[in-house]
Chain A
Amino acid sequence: MKELHAGGIGARLPRKEDIPILRGEGRYFADISIAGQLHVMFLRSPHAHARILSIDVSAAEELPGVVAVITGEMIRNEMLPLPQPSVGGGLPGRKPKFWPLAVEKVKFHGEPVAAVVAETPYLAEDALEAIFVEYEPLPYVGDMEAALDPSSPRVHEDWNDNEIFKSNFRATRSADEHAAHIEEAKRRIAEAPFVVRQRFRTHRCGITALEPRGALAVWDATEGITAWMTTQRPHLQRLSLAEVLKLPQAKVRVIAPRDQGGGFGMKGSVYREPLLVAYLARHLRRPVRWLETREENLMAAGQGRDQIHDIELAADANGRLVALRDKIQTDAGDGCLGGTWGYAMPMVGGMRLPNAYILPFCDIQLRVAVTNKASLCPARGFGIFAPRFALERALDMLARKIGVEPAELLRKNFITTFPARLSTGLGYSSGDFVKTFDRLVELVDIPEFRRRQKEALSLGRYIGLGISTGVEVSGVDNLSYLTATGGPSYATVDLRVDSEGHVTVAYGDGPTGQGSQTTIAQVVAEELGIDPQNVTVLSGDTLTTTYSPGTVSGRGASMVLPAVALACRDLKKKIVRVVANDASMVAGDEEFSFADGYITYCGNSNLRRSFAELAHRIVIGAVDLPPGDTGGLEQRAVFEATRGNVCFSAHAAFVEVSPETGRVKITRYVTSDDAGVVINPLIVEGQIQGGVIQGISNFFFEEYVYNDEGQQMTSTLESYKIAKASDVPRIEIYHDAGTPNPTNPLGTRGIGEGCIAPVPGALGNAISDALRPLGIEITDLPVRPGPLFHRMDVALRDDQQA
């Protein structure tokens, strides 16, 4: 094993960002205040779908402390609506037009209708109660299948139906070629000895972060807008703000606070509220601040998943998969979400459906409906939570039909040659799925479990084992990213060394707890041989950083860190030139080592200079430099992936289901992941631990519920149930069977996004395995004890009668 560089790559370095947070000195959005700031609160629609007949704000305007009351009518000519080119330019589907406040009609329960600006948030809330809105209720469109029927009332009246997007994932095939492709898939299924046909359904849930959203904007006649906001993507916010306010980009500065309380995709979109906050700051010439309430967050942001899959999956007599068909439907809500428009997720999910398996013939069709719900939003796993559930469950059922261990079926069908291309056009650059998977299988000892399972069953106990996998492609190339999000994916970092040898790294993303201050410092430490404590990381400020797509889709490890390494390597070249020049010698960079704060000539260790001294030499004592070099020690690097970063996770869940209450207990949960070269195992394990628990929470507890009238019934943390410490197990995590990623100079793979996706399959398979004696298959999420109990009860009664 390679020796660990103190605090360098591979070290379990406790995080640098922790200390201020632990002292209560974190700098989150809500901790930022500007003298003279006003507070905005939103009046939100109580209806799912209604025409606004009138809004009376006169009483509210009279209340103490109220500065302004604003409605959609008042702003529709003052600012441009979305969509604008920055948000969704590249996306192939429809983009409904919307303003920050509802204009003419409301399209979901919780849509902002009016805004109060007041001296304190308490007074703002008082005034909300004095706004009177007259609504004419319209029929609620709440079921995605019904919404796609031509007879359905329309959500967007200027459209002729409710279909926001559809795709058949034909990749580069011509229409004719694709028709033939589908025929072949059908033929193969018709002729296959083993076929599973099943509908799977995943519910509306997401990863609401603990910190809600917020925005604070200041207007200055010369500088324009400065806006602090909770966002994973400050540069995207800047572009969209400039567009809707018709300002040059140079007059818009967006700052994502240093500390952000979680994002998980929820803070990756361009939302209504911050746009209005910026408008108000300019309109009122006063700083305006909006601090979201949890209720608003649960009503209007962060609702994800929500798909139906009708799958057909077939295998030949040897247990090789021959073809897959899937009709996917997704409920995009109203689709008014800048960036993804409610359908980028299912689009990507459909493209990735074939997962880790050789499936040359796929007929995948996606239809995305708009409904009267909050727009579907990115949530960790970006569109793949539902497809992974459906396919991994179908594979499990197929294995049972064939009569083999599911693990055997998976193993037989893994993609083994790279680069690989799926029938949907998606490319996989590298990996060793079999190796990572075998590690999992070795850890769980299936034969031993089967013995215990038999024994348990004889005692009336239902225990089960479920295995599933997930390939995540994140940190993708510019073209793919542009198509999916409307922006490029490259990472840019600026590295600056001061005259004491401390390094500052600046980049334009908006991290939300990923530990990037630490991992970036570790890469710098490794490359330059300095103490990671001497590295400072700045992020989130569009004024001091260059364009960057944001802290999304596992880009931290797969794109940003490689860019840091490249910058360091370029910087080293300059340092070596100076050292060599000062010693009047000629030497290449590889002849010097950077370690322990020193630069040492490998040919003669007496030629050794400290990094700090050299920094001073180049930054301050900047004379007699090598020809062509100038003073100062700084470097910009851009990393562009030519091929997507792939990571692979294999999960095993052990469960026991109580026949008395239908409650499922997870008795053990093991993962084996290919995280590539691991910069900091603490952080990688933390990402997986947290991601899997979120998946478990989604699977069993969380659900955004709309009643028959479209009322969102789960807008508190009491009703939207997130797993607590005693509801979840400890996850056993292994990342020792990974492979270095050849697509970037560090070999890292971004594990954060994808680690959640195998969870629903593993759990669904485990519960179905436990209940196989009763013939119960898990096809719908969430899995709740009551319904499960009833299914078991019926089966047990039938058993007794038989």
Chain B
Amino acid sequence: MNTSVSITINGIAYERSIPIRMLLVDFIRYEAGLTGTHVGCTFEGACGACTVHLDGDAIKSCLVLAVQCDGRWITTVEGLAEGSELHPLQIAFNEHHALQCGYCTSGLLMTGVDLIEKDSELNEEKVRHGITGNLCRCAGYSNIVDAILSVARARTHEEEV
């Protein structure tokens, strides 16, 4: 019931022999040792703390088996910064006080980056709607929305210039 897989996470290929039933989130956390991706649900897949990018799309890694991602590439929160240089959204989260306990943060960053990259005309309503897959229990959302919007606006501005 074991199978071997090669999954590329943040540019590194992880080749492992794993049980078929292993969840992608457990592969990321325990096989690759990348613990920035969190778990908040039993089976319902409703909190978004486990959000990562699979081939460039934000998805919930608790609702995918690792074996399904054989040969595919994953980006986790650890892959956002380039070396010591943080992703603009990471900086914006800090500046806007968009995290308190931070447990939701990696998921929200991944959803936020997905939104910013795919929609060049974001507004508050779109952002709020865009992050409904991510629960935040502490921060009350507004600062998160502001952080995402600030990066989106900076991008649009850059493109215009």
Chain A residues packing against B (C-beta within 8 Å): 14-15, 17-19, 21-26, 28, 30-31, 33, 122, 207-212, 259-264, 293-295, 512-515, 682-683, 685-687, 689-694, 715-718, 722, 724-726, 728, 730-731
Contacts and interface: CB of A to CB of B under 8 A. Distances in A.
Complex A-B, nearest 9 residue pairs according to Cβ-Cβ distance, in ascending order: A24-B36, A261-B103, A513-B101, A693-B140, A24-B77, A21-B102, A513-B100, A689-B140, A717-B46
Contacts of A683: 97
Interface string B19-33: 101100000011000
Contact of A22 (B76, B93, B132, B140): B93
B137 interface: yes
10 contacts: A21-B105, A23-B78, A210-B40, A259-B102, A294-B44, A686-B97, A716-B42, A716-B44, A724-B134, A724-B135
Contacts of B49: 210
Contacts of B128: 725-726
B40 A718 contact: no
Contacts of A24: 34-37, 76-78, 80, 106
A210 B143 contact: no
Given A262-B101, A725-B132, A725-B144, A207 B137 contact: yes
Given A211-B101, A726-B128, A718 B138 contact: no
A493 to B, nearest CB: 22
A260 B136 CA distance: 14
B41 A294 contact: yes
Contacts of A33: 30
A294 B42 contact: yes
A687 to B, nearest CB: 8
Contacts of A209: 101, 103, 137
Contacts of A212: 40
B160 to A, nearest CB: 27
Contacts of A28: 35, 38, 103
B118 interface: no
Q: Which of A31, A211, A691, A725 has the most CB of B within 10 A?
A: A725
B32 to A, nearest CB: 12
What secondary structure prevails in chain B residues at the interface with A?
Answer: loop
Given A26-B102, A211-B101, A262-B100, A731 B41 contact: no
A717 B97 contact: no
B20 to A, nearest CB: 11
A340 B33 CA distance: 38
Contact of A30 (B38, B80, B86, B102): B38
How would you classify the secondary structure of chain A's contact residues: helix, strand, loop or mixed?
Answer: loop
Contact of B94 (A18, A31, A208, A211): A18
A565 to B, nearest CB: 23
Interface in B76-128: 76-78, 80-81, 86, 90, 93-95, 97, 99-106, 109, 125, 127-128
A730 B142 contact: yes
B137 A514 contact: no
B94 A14 contact: yes
Given A690-B138, A717-B47, A725-B131, A260 B42 contact: no
Contacts of A722: 135, 137
A30 B97 contact: no
Interface string B41-56: 1111011010000000
A82 B97 CA distance: 40
A686 B99 CA distance: 9
B65 interface: no
Contacts of A30: 29, 35, 38-39
A514 B131 CA distance: 23
B133 to A, nearest CB: 8
A127 to B, nearest CB: 15
B140 A728 contact: yes
Contacts of A122: 19, 21-22
A122 B22 CA distance: 9
A693 B93 contact: no
B141 A693 contact: yes
B38 A690 contact: no
A281 to B, nearest CB: 20
Contact of A210 (B80, B101, B109, B127): B101
Nearest to A696: B140
B3 to A, nearest CB: 15
Nearest to A730: B142
A512 B101 contact: yes
B139 interface: yes
B97 A15 contact: yes
A262 B99 CA distance: 11
Contacts of B77: 22-24
B10 to A, nearest CB: 10
A502 to B, nearest CB: 21
Given A686-B140, A717-B44, 8 more contacts: A21-B106, A210-B135, A211-B40, A211-B101, A294-B42, A513-B102, A716-B46, A724-B134
B142 A731 contact: yes
B141 A728 contact: yes
B157 interface: no
B117 to A, nearest CB: 18
A208 B142 CA distance: 20
Contacts of A686: 97, 100, 138-140, 143
B98 to A, nearest CB: 9
Given A210-B47, A210-B135, A689-B143, A514 B100 contact: yes
A717 B34 contact: no
Nearest to A17: B102
Nearest to A515: B100
Contacts of A682: 97
A262 B36 contact: no
Nearest to A695: B140
Centre residue among A28, A694, A726 by max chain B CB count within 10 A: A726
Contact of A725 (B44, B109, B145): B145
Nearest to A263: B101
A725 to B, nearest CB: 4
Contacts of B86: 19, 22-23
Contacts of A23: 36, 77-78, 80-81, 86, 90
B140 A690 contact: yes
A22 B40 contact: no
Nearest to A259: B102
Contacts of B35: 24, 26, 28, 30-31
Nearest to A212: B40
B8 to A, nearest CB: 17
Contacts of A263: 101
A22 B90 contact: yes
B104 to A, nearest CB: 5
B94 A694 contact: no
A15 B91 CA distance: 11
Contact of B138 (A262, A716, A730, A731): A262
Most buried by B among A22, A263, A690: A22
B97 to A, nearest CB: 4
Contacts of A691: 140
Nearest to B90: A22
Contacts of B138: 210, 262, 513, 686, 690
B93 A18 contact: yes
A686 to B, nearest CB: 5
Residue from B34, B40, B139 whose CB has the most chain A CB atoms within 10 Å: B40
A718 B143 contact: no
B54 to A, nearest CB: 17
Contact of A15 (B94, B106, B109, B125): B94
Nearest to B102: A21
A79 B89 CA distance: 50
Contact of B141 (A210, A515, A716, A725): A725
A293 B62 CA distance: 13
A104 to B, nearest CB: 28
B144 A22 contact: no
B64 to A, nearest CB: 16
A207, A682, A690: most-surrounded residue (chain B CB, <10 A):
A690
Given A28-B38, A262-B100, A513-B100, A22 B109 contact: yes
